[in-house]
Chain A
């Protein structure tokens, strides 16, 4: 599985757009990029997944450049409840293997 690198922590304010970038220089051809959100004492929650270019859902957008060596999770107009740890994972979506979580990014939203 490709290793990922994310900032350890970030902070922002309510109503702002937050962008969290993840580096994955060794991403393989079959690998997808998936982001999870985790609140304290809860299991991770799927946010978004993409392979290339841009993916958008009701929660976030995921921007992936052509070389796919990085990706950026964009959270529009964050609120206090978006304070959480965000994990970027890279792997073959069809794999039956368990997931390898990196250290994640602790996002703190202030009023």
Chain B
């Protein structure tokens, strides 16, 4: 099956700093990538949808200026959490799909903001 990777797998940063998370589709070209966030003991919540070469579409309540998404190529999307605060601590998961087909999920990135 298709493989999606994320880097880093975990990160600890200080409040006020920015953190970049990468999502890569390793063996296929993903026309669309999605970013989800999951708080402890809760379900995944879709944050945004990004298509290669165009601006991301954010879900209601997700600040686009805080969560910067760049989908510069068909195999890479990045999520940058700007000016991170402790409440941004969460598990961030990306998924990738080819032309609206099945989504393949990455292993997730654990962000802890101190």
Q: Which residues of A contact B (CB under 8 A)?
A: 41-46, 49, 87, 93-104
Contacts and interface: CB of A to CB of B under 8 A. Distances in A.
A101 B49 CA distance: 15
Contacts, number: 52
Interface residues of B, number: 27
Contact of A43 (B1, B46, B108): B108
B101 A43 contact: no
Given A43-B4, A45-B105, A46-B102, 8 more contacts: A42-B108, A46-B1, A93-B102, A94-B100, A96-B97, A99-B34, A99-B46, A99-B95
Given A99-B46, A101-B44, A104-B43, A43 B32 contact: no
Nearest to B103: A99
Given A98-B49, A104-B43, A41 B34 contact: no
B93 A96 contact: no
B108 A41 contact: yes
Given A43-B105, A93-B101, A103 B95 contact: no
B110 interface: yes
Interface of B: 1, 4, 6, 32, 34, 36, 43-46, 49, 59, 91, 93, 95, 97, 99-108, 110
Nearest to B102: A46
6 contacts: A43-B106, A43-B108, A44-B44, A98-B95, A99-B46, A101-B36
Nearest to A97: B49
Contacts of B108: 41-43
Q: Which 6 A-B pairs have the closest CB atoms?
A: A43-B105, A96-B100, A98-B46, A101-B43, A101-B44, A98-B34
Contacts of A102: 43
Contacts of A42: 107-108
A84 B46 CA distance: 21
Q: Which of A41, A46, A96, A101 has the most CB of B within 10 A?
A: A96
